[in-house]
Amino acid sequence: MANAERMEAQLKALSLISEQGEEGTTRLSYTPEYRKGADYIKKLMEEAGLTVREDAAGLVWGLLPGTDPDAPKLISGSHLDTVRCSGFYDGQAGIICALEAARMIKESGKPLKGDFEVVAIPMEEGARFPNLTGSKLAAGVLKEADLDLVKDTEGTTLREAMLSYGLTGKLDGVDRSKEKVKAFIELHMEQGTLLEDEGIDLGVVDGIFGCYWKTITVRGEVSHPSTPMAKRKDAGLAACRIVSDLSEHVAKNYVGKATVTCGKMDFHPGEINAIPSRAVFSVDFRSGDKKNFDELDAYLAEKIAQVEKDYRVKVEQEVFSNTPPTPNTPAIMNALTTGAKNLGLKSVVLPSGAGHDTMIFAKIWPTGMIFIPSHEGYTHSPREYTDPRNLANGADLIAEAIRILDAQ
């Protein structure tokens, strides 16, 4: 069985590998802190007896060889990067649980037929580069030409960041889309409270909500606060109107179907005594049905046209990321459900409202996801927490499902 105390200690050690001065853990991709985190994962993989390599995009792979070189591979893992001021379970728990599963399989003395690989992935979060960039490179969705087109929040290209991180700036050997893989399984905290509220040990994810991100720029005219309200071209007020109306519309008409979030908003010139001439804000749509994105996009366009007229401003839209909803593979879901039953654990099938690397790997491989309970649903927060027993249950299920799939 999995060693819960070992996994919790490993996660706590990872939590300390962070930018200094920030609340919680901050480890953005291709930074010195990320390098230290990747090196720590390599060390853990080596200690578990895995063969370790870092590919040209910075994904770290730990290999447990199988007995049959022609058998399809089995892969499990998640992302190592964080958002700013995060906890230390999101993504990282998926790596540590997969690593524990590999350790258990190796120590059992009963090898698998196929190779089993554990992976730590960069750039899942959109905190620096667009979300899911690391898995898009591994899946061959992004090509070498994209390294000069994809930029981070400061305008640094992906190639420039890779070079500064110590990589070659090439993608030799990164694309794994042609390989024979039977399953990619990702473990993650639920990012909700259903499992905890209902006393359920594990969730088997049947599908993942799509993510549709936009950057909205509102252009008005800077002026003194003494300007009469009716004469203003207030970009800040116009932006707030769009966000407020859009949020109310989704809350009223898309309960359980979609969400919208404005997580970032900047005003220019950003002075207390100046009417903003420019406002830039983000829009994050989530839904399990693409038609909801289309409907909400149409509503947003109508709202923008109304705001341009009412506030005498101009509004521009730019799509930052667009990932459609993704179903998981029934055969892998069955293996996870059967595995939980074999272990005497209670499971339930549920969707994921958040995006994950699994969405990208589903383009090239059969996929499955495991949720473990999240205390009070906190995620992307220093208050993230799950009981160590949940980590052990998750690692046990990964190992059990991998054996089930390997035998098929």
Predicted confidence (pLDDT) per residue in 116-170, tens digit? 999 999 999 989 999 899 999 999 999 999 999 999 989 999 999 999 999 999 9
Tell me how far apart the alpha carbons of residues 205 and 186 are, in angstroms, rounded to a whole number. 10
Question: Which residue type, as a one-letter code, is found at position 369?
Answer: M
pLDDT of the residue at 173: 96
Helix axes 32-47, 92-108, angle to 10 degrees: 20
Tell me how far apart the alpha carbons of residues 393 and 377 are, in angstroms, rounded to a whole number. 18
Query: What is the domain partition of the chain in residue ranges?
Result: 4-209+325-407, 210-323
Question: Which residue type, as a one-letter code, is found at position 222?
Answer: V
Q: Positive or negative, the Cα torsion across 200, 204, 210, 213?
A: positive
pLDDT of the residue at 2: 98
The pair phi, psi for residue 201, each rounded to 5°, is -70, -45
Largest distance between two CA atoms of the chain: 79
For residue 363, name the pLDDT band (cuts at 50, 70, 90): very high
The pair phi, psi for residue 68, each rounded to 5°, is -120, 105
Q: Within 10 A of 274 (CB to CB), how many other CB atoms are there? A: 15
Q: Which helix (H) or strand (E) holds 396?
A: helix 388-407
Q: Within 10 A of 123 (CB to CB), how many other CB atoms are there? A: 31
The token pair at 78 is: 């998640």
Q: Mean of the pLDDT values across residues 172-193?
A: 97
Task: Please write the tens of the pLDDT for every residue from 99-121.
Answer: 999 999 999 999 999 999 999 99
Tell me how far apart the alpha carbons of residues 290 and 267 are, in angstroms, rounded to a whole number. 31
* Intrachain domains 4-209+325-407 and 210-323 with the same fold: no
Q: Mean of the pLDDT values across residues 25-36?
A: 97
For residue 22, name the pLDDT band (cuts at 50, 70, 90): confident
Indicate the CATH number for domain 210-323: 3.30.70.360
Q: Mean of the pLDDT values across residues 374-381?
A: 94
pLDDT of the residue at 218: 98
pLDDT of the residue at 4: 98
* Three-point CA angle 309, 312, 317, nearest 5°: 75
Task: Please write the tens of the pLDDT for every residue from 275-327.
Answer: 999 999 999 999 989 999 999 999 999 999 999 999 999 999 999 888 889 99
Class of CATH domain 4-209+325-407: alpha beta
| Residue 229, Cβ density class (10 Å: 0-12 exposed, 13-18 middle, ≥19 buried) | exposed
Q: For residue 211, what are the β-bridge partners? A: 286, 323
pLDDT of the residue at 324: 84
Any idea which residue has 């059992």 for tokens?
Answer: 108
Task: Please write the tens of the pLDDT for every residue from 235-254.
Answer: 999 999 999 999 999 999 99
pLDDT of the residue at 256: 82
Q: Are 123 and 134 in contact (CB under 8 A)?
A: yes
Q: To the nearest whole number, what is the mean pLDDT of the chain?
A: 96
Tell me how far apart the alpha carbons of residues 227 and 273 are, in angstroms, rounded to a whole number. 11
Number of H helices, E strands in the chain: 11, 14
As a dihedral over the C-alpha atoms of residue 388, residue 393, residue 395, residue 400, rounded to 10 degrees, the angle is: 170
Residue 21 has pLDDT above 80, yes or no: no
Q: Within 10 A of 113 (CB to CB), how many other CB atoms are there? A: 16
pLDDT of the residue at 355: 84
Tell me how far apart the alpha carbons of residues 191 and 372 are, in angstroms, rounded to a whole number. 9
pLDDT of the residue at 321: 84
pLDDT of the residue at 320: 84
pLDDT of the residue at 291: 94
Task: Please write the tens of the pLDDT for every residue from 197-223.
Answer: 999 999 999 999 988 999 999 999 999
Tell me how far apart the alpha carbons of residues 269 and 282 are, in angstroms, rounded to a whole number. 18
288: nearest Cα among 355, 209, 191: 209
Residue 354 has pLDDT above 90, yes or no: no
Residue 20 has pLDDT above 80, yes or no: yes
The token pair at 374 is: 């999240």
323: nearest Cα among 291, 294, 286, 298: 286
pLDDT of the residue at 158: 98
